[in-house]
């Protein structure tokens, strides 16, 4: 699941996963996560020509793209479109985490029935799902794009040695 290359390791995108409410999003094809620090100017006359900055806020957000799953039995292990839409409507605050699954095999697939969130080497926080976009082209697969925003501290859980 990690390709070794001249003493460097590369994480394959297919092995980096997102969990919302302790579940992956069904039939996920990709995810993007943004972590942003916002700074305020703190330069004074004593700073001279040099600019000074102080950390103001830190935010995180992301999106997940997937194919649309009509199968309600997927809902026990993964988030499907109806559950995602219900979370938007309810304004639920949900746990979010991202990292490399703890049960990934050397083939890059889960060793059990679904991906298990890592217990170390992961970031965890809380989020609100802010949108679910559904695409349904006449000659193609129906797709979902889920957008979420962090609403609590993002906490790293360090890898164990």
Residue 72's pLDDT band, with cuts at 50, 70 and 90, is low
Q: Are strands 8-11 and 28-41 parallel, antiparallel or unpaired?
A: unpaired
**What's the helix, strand, coil split of the chain in %, to 5?**
15, 50, 40
**Average pLDDT of the segment spanning 100-127:** 74
Convert the pLDDT of each residue in 115-152 to its tens digit: 777 777 788 999 999 999 999 999 999 999 999 999 99
Which pLDDT score, from 0 to 100, does residue 116 have?
Answer: 72
- In percent, the amount of the chain with pLDDT more than 70 equals 82
Residue 60's pLDDT band, with cuts at 50, 70 and 90, is very high
Given a contact cutoff of 8 angstroms between Cβ atoms, the answer to whether 42 and 54 are in contact is yes
* pTM (2 d.p.): 0.80
Which pLDDT score, from 0 to 100, does residue 108 have?
Answer: 62
8-state DSSP, 104: B
Which pLDDT score, from 0 to 100, does residue 112 have?
Answer: 61
Convert the pLDDT of each residue in 6-44 to its tens digit: 567 777 777 788 888 888 887 888 999 999 999 999 988
Transcribe 15-42 into DSSP letters. Answer: G-EEEETTBEETTEEEEEEEEEEEEEE-
Which pLDDT score, from 0 to 100, does residue 57 have?
Answer: 96
**Average pLDDT of the segment spanning 68-84:** 74
Between residues 4 and 49, the one the model is more confident about: 49
Strand segments, DSSP code E, in 6-121 are 8-11, 17-20, 24-25, 28-41, 53-67, 78-79, 94-99
Residue 158's pLDDT band, with cuts at 50, 70 and 90, is confident
Cα 157 from chain centre? 15
Given a contact cutoff of 8 angstroms between Cβ atoms, the answer to whether 83 and 71 are in contact is no
Which pLDDT score, from 0 to 100, does residue 24 have?
Answer: 83
Given a contact cutoff of 8 angstroms between Cβ atoms, the answer to whether 128 and 151 are in contact is yes
Which pLDDT score, from 0 to 100, does residue 119 have?
Answer: 75
Place of tokens 């590369």: 10
Cβ within 8 Å of residue 121, ≥6 positions away: 99, 100, 157, 158, 159
């Amino acid at each position: 699941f990690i390709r070794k290359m001249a003493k460097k390791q590369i994480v394959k995108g297919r092995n980096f996963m997102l969990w919302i409410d302790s579940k992956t999003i069904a039939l996920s094809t990709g995810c993007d996560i943004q972590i942003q620090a916002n700074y305020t100017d703190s330069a004074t006359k004593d700073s001279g020509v040099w600019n000074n900055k102080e950390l103001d806020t830190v935010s995180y957000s992301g999106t997940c793209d997937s194919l649309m799953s009509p199968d309600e039995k997927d809902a026990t292990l993964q988030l499907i479109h109806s559950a995602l839409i219900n979370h938007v409507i309810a304004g639920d605050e949900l746990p979010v985490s991202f990292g490399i699954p703890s049960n990934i095999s050397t083939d890059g697939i889960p060793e059990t029935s679904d991906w298990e969130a890592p217990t170390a080497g992961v970031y965890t926080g809380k989020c609100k799902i802010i949108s679910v976009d559904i695409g349904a082209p006449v000659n193609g697969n129906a797709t979902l794009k889920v957008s979420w925003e962090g609403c609590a501290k993002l906490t790293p859980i360090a890898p164990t040695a």
